[in-house]
Amino acid sequence: MDADESAIIKEFKDLLPAVLVGYNIRNFDIPFLTARALINGFEDYDVFMKCRYIDLFDVVKSISTGGKWPTLNFTCQCLGIDVYADVSGAYIPGLWVKALKGDERAKQLVEDHCRKDVIKVKQLYAKLKKLIEKDI
């Protein structure tokens, strides 16, 4: 358990929107947050599993014609959204563990990656909004 991580989870939980929007959040973000909440001793660790969400990954998969796995960066590139050079999302869990152990460089990489992902998801949501509105 880490006091900083616990505070971050509590703040995010307290600010959880009515509908959470992300990319591949069903398979990564929501389980990751749930696991970290459980590890940090939250009694309501399942709050993230119960939240309403829109997973843009599912929307993209529903219109994909196959080919390359539709990562956030690949999807953004296809739709003309700027993709910032950063560390791959596949490395974020390992970097987070390093950050929890005091590695400031790892912490900065995670923060930068997440900040850039939020910008990309916001732009992607705007592009896909007509496909999403029918489900809201």
How many residues can be counted in the chain? 136
**Crossing angle for the helix pair 92-100 and 104-133, to the nearest 10 degrees:** 140
Q: Domain 3-133 is of which CATH architecture?
A: 2-Layer Sandwich (3.30)
Residue 13, helix vs strand vs coil: helix
pLDDT in tens, 111-126: 999 999 999 999 999 9
pLDDT in tens, 52-77: 999 999 999 888 776 667 889 889 99
Largest CA distance in the chain: 45
Per-domain residue ranges of the chain: 3-133
| Strand stretches in the chain, DSSP E | 20-22, 53-55
Judge contact between 37 and 48, C-beta under 8 A. Answer: yes
pTM score, whole prediction: 0.82
